[in-house]
Amino acid sequence: MLRGFPPVVAADTHTLILGSFPGEASLAATQYYAHPRNQFWRLLGAILDEPLAELAYEERLRRLLSHGIGVWDVLAACHREGSLDAAIRNAQPNDFASLREHSPTLRKVCFNGKTAGRFAPVIGAAGYTTLVLPSSSPANAMLSFDQKLRLWRDILT
C-alpha cells in the first residue's frame, strides 16, 4: 500500500488544489509534483507571477501558502504500479471532513485532472466551490501549456 502526503494548508488557505495521488517521482522525492515534466509548478507560477518552478521545494510551498493556496490529494493511500491514475487500485480517500479544521477560511477546491475531479460532487455538497482543471501531468498531452494555463487561471476567480 502506497501512502500519500499530508495537506499543505494554513489557517488562511482559501483555495485548495487536489491531485489524485503522487506519482513515482513525487513519492521518491517526498514532494508534490516532483516529476520534471509535470507542469503544476509552471502553471501556478505563471498564474501567481512567481518563479515557483525555479525555487527550492520548501520555498515553493511557502510562496503558494502566502497566496492562500494549498495542495493535497484526494487519495490517502492506494495500490498502484507506475504513475498512471488508471492503475490505481484499493483507493482510500483522504479525510475531507478535516478540511474545515485545518483551513477554516477554505472556500474553493480545485481538482488537478479528471480522476481527482470525481470527488467534486462530494466536496461541492460540503459547501465548497469546485473547479475541475485539466491535469498538469505529462501524460495529459492533449492540451498545450497555454491552453491549460487559460483554464487554470480560473483558480483565482
Active-site residue set: 38
Torsion of CA 136, 142, 143, 144, to 10 degrees: 90
Separation CA 53–CA 143 (nearest Å): 20
The answer to whether the Cα torsion of 113, 151, 7, 117 is positive or negative is: negative
Separation CA 110–CA 49 (nearest Å): 19
